[in-house]
Amino acid sequence: WMIEKHTQRPQKLNVWAGIFGSQVVRPFFIEGNLNSVQYLAMLRNQIIPTLQNIAGDNFGTLWFQQDGAPPHFGVEIRRHLNHVFPGKWIGRRGAIEWPARSPDLSPLDYYFWGYLKDQVYRTKPQDLVELRLRIVEEAARIPVDAIRNALSAFYHRLGYCQEAEGKQFGHLLYQFR
C-alpha cells in the first residue's frame, strides 16, 4: 500500500489482516519496509494475542496460513509458528508447504485484498494517517455474506486445482460448465 507523491521515496505501509470464521481479523500496520524482526514482533504482540482473544477455547484448533513473503520465512518466524501452531501452520517450510506466489487458494488473495483496495482507493488518500483509517474502516464494513461467499469459493477452487493437476487453473474459473 502506498501514497504516491512526487518524491523519490513514496510512503509505504505494510498491512496484515486475516479471516477467522466469517469475520475479518483487524488490520495491523508497519510503515516502510517490513523485515522478519518487525514481523516476529507483530506476530507476538498483536496478531497471535488477537487470534487467541477471538478464538478463545478454540485457539488450539486454529490453522495459520501466511504467504511466501521473505519476512515471513525467517528462522525465528518459523520457530515461533511451530511453537504456537504445532503442525498447524501453512507457509514456506510450514507444517504444510505453501508455494510462493500462489494466490489462487487463499481467500485473502483472491478476494479480500482486491476488494479492500478497491474500496480504500475510490478516492486518493492524502497521507498514511488517512490510508490507515480507510483500511480499518473498509475492512470493518466488508459484509459477512461476502466473506462466507469467498470462503465457499475455496472448495470450488480446490476442485479446479485438482482438475489442473496442481498447475495454474485461473482459466478454468471463467469457463461455463
What pLDDT was estimated at residue 4?
A: 58
Select the more confidently predicted residue: 89 or 5: 89
Going by their DSSP bridges, the two strands 2-3 and 11-20 should be labelled as: antiparallel
Positive or negative, the CA dihedral 88, 90, 91, 93 is positive
Number of domains in the chain: 1
Domain that holds residue 80: 2-174
DSSP, collapsed to helix, strand or coil, labels residue 8 as: coil
C-alpha 43/C-alpha 72 separation (Å) is 10
The whole model's pTM is what?
0.84
Check if the beta carbon of residue 65 is closer than 8 Å to that of residue 90.
yes
R_g (Cα) of the chain, nearest Å: 17
Q: For residue 72, what is the domain's CATH number?
A: 3.30.420.10
